[in-house]
Amino acid sequence: MLGYIARRLLLTIPTLLGVTFLVFAVVRLQPGDPAQEIAGQGATKEILESIRQELGLDRPFLIQYVDFMEKLFRGNLGRSLKTKEPVAPKVWNRFLNTLELTAVAMIIAILIGSVAGIISAIRPYSIWDNLSMLGALFGVSMPVFWQGIMLMLVFALWLEQWIGWGLPATGRGTLLHLILPALTLGTSSAAIIARMTRSTMLEILRQEYILTAHAKGASSGAVIFKHALRNALIPVVTVVGLTFGGLLSGAVLTETVFAWPGIGRLIVEEGILTRDYPIVQGAILMVALGFVLVNLLVDLLYAYIDPRIRYD
């Protein structure tokens, strides 16, 4: 196991270096003069010069990268071009908000997805199976931002009109604020988890050790939950890891719909659309690092649950 962990950790290092390099290059790869690009057409020479100095654009490329990495290790992501505030604390706070949203969405996805998948697998081709797989198909195909808007319409706006009380539709605060965005964000992951649980459970229920369990007189509940589900969880863990990326992608859109103060909105609204590149760099770096770490954890967890992996 230790050897596996070491190998997996070593493989992460080049990825992380590459990620930092790509993020670093985002500003430098701009066609034309990045300073001009950031400041806009009417900028004076002094402004352009100050931007170049701020970003270190007046020095050689590799020196800039080394400098960037050195600052990064000290937790310094530079300052916002617009507000002049340090980027790191802002990025960190917004990232925590996004994590809160994705964690709740993930819990919802695992609960709905595994229950639907198990029910489908126990009674394949029944009405429940067909219904939940149809639901899963719609769940995968529905644009997350549209679903968010529709949920907002029904459970916030219309509910308020009908009974005088609706779920909060925007912002972050109480637990109630989490319900609509987390449900929106979790749906497509729930759909993927449901399909995966179903197919794995179906495969496992055909195994001989399940037949043995039945033959020795175990109740069907015990067979499903003790013998089948525990083995079915192995691939589901991987899918949970994979859908985490989908959740982070979806978070950008969900946050925009529900005005959730997360990192996705930071990247788009305060970063790209206002050309505040230190913010874009810092926030994207944070998301990528988080994603790489989660994948690492999932891989290690996977190897822990399924010994066949680490001896491969």
Partner 1 sequence: MIDKTAVSLTEKASEGGLAQRKETLWRRLRKSPSAMLGLSIVLVFVTAGFLAPWIAPHDPLRPDFGRAREGPTWDSPLGRDELGRDILSRIIYGARISLWIGFIAVAIGVALGVPLGAVSGYYGRLDIFVQRVVDIMLAFPGLLLAIVLISILGVGLSNVMIAIGIASIPTYARLVRGSVLSLREMDYVTAARALGMSDRRIIFRHILPNCLAPIIVQSTLQVATAILFAAGLGFLGLGAKPPMPEWGVMLSTGRDYLRDWPHIATFPGLAIMLSVLGFNLLGDGLRDILDPRLRGKL
Residue 110 is a binding residue for partner 1 (CB under 8 A): no
- Looking at beta carbons only, is 4 or 145 nearer to partner 1? 145
Taking alpha carbons only, the member of 290, 110, 126 closest to residue 192 is 110
Using CB under 8 A, which of the segments 44-52, 172-180, 224-232, 271-279 binds partner 1?
A: 271-279
> 63, 69, 96, 157: which one contacts partner 1 (CB under 8 A)?
157
- Looking at beta carbons only, is 68 or 244 nearer to partner 1? 244
β partners of residue 79: 86
d(CA 119, CA 125): 11
> 116, 118, 236, 288: which one contacts partner 1 (CB under 8 A)?
288
Amino acid occupying residue 276: D
**Interface with partner 1 in residues 230-269 (CB under 8 A):** 239, 244-246, 248-250, 252-253, 256-257, 267-268
Using H for helix, E for strand and C for coil, what is the string for 176-241? HHHHHHHHHHHHHHHHHHHHHHHHHHHHHHCCHHHHHHHHCCCCHHHHHHHHHHHHHHHHHHHHHH
Q: How many CA atoms lie within 13 A of 210 on its CB side?
A: 19
d(CA 24, CA 77): 11
Angle between the 229-258 and 87-122 helix axes, to the nearest 10 degrees?
130
Kindly write out the interface string for residues 123-142 of this chain, putting x where it contacts partner 1 by CB under 8 A and - elsewhere. --------------xx-xxx
d(CA 312, CA 304): 13
- Looking at beta carbons only, is 145 or 302 nearer to partner 1? 145
254 neighbors 144 (Cβ within 8 angstroms): yes
- Looking at beta carbons only, is 178 or 188 nearer to partner 1? 188
> 149, 159, 179, 301: which one contacts partner 1 (CB under 8 A)?
149
Cβ of residue 218: shortest distance to partner 1, in angstroms? 26
**Interface with partner 1 in residues 14-33 (CB under 8 A):** 14-16, 18-19, 22-23, 25-26, 29-31
Taking alpha carbons only, the member of 266, 289, 280 closest to residue 97 is 266
310 neighbors 44 (Cβ within 8 angstroms): no
What 3-state DSSP class applies to 82?
coil
d(CA 151, CA 158): 10
Cβ of residue 56: shortest distance to partner 1, in angstroms? 18
- Looking at beta carbons only, is 10 or 215 nearer to partner 1? 10
- Looking at beta carbons only, is 41 or 141 nearer to partner 1? 141
> 10, 173, 273, 312: which one contacts partner 1 (CB under 8 A)?
273
Give the binding site for partner 1 (CB under 8 A): 11, 14-16, 18-19, 22-23, 25-26, 29-31, 137-138, 140-146, 149-150, 152-153, 157, 192, 195-196, 198-199, 202, 239, 244-246, 248-250, 252-253, 256-257, 267-268, 271-273, 277, 280, 284, 287-288, 291-292
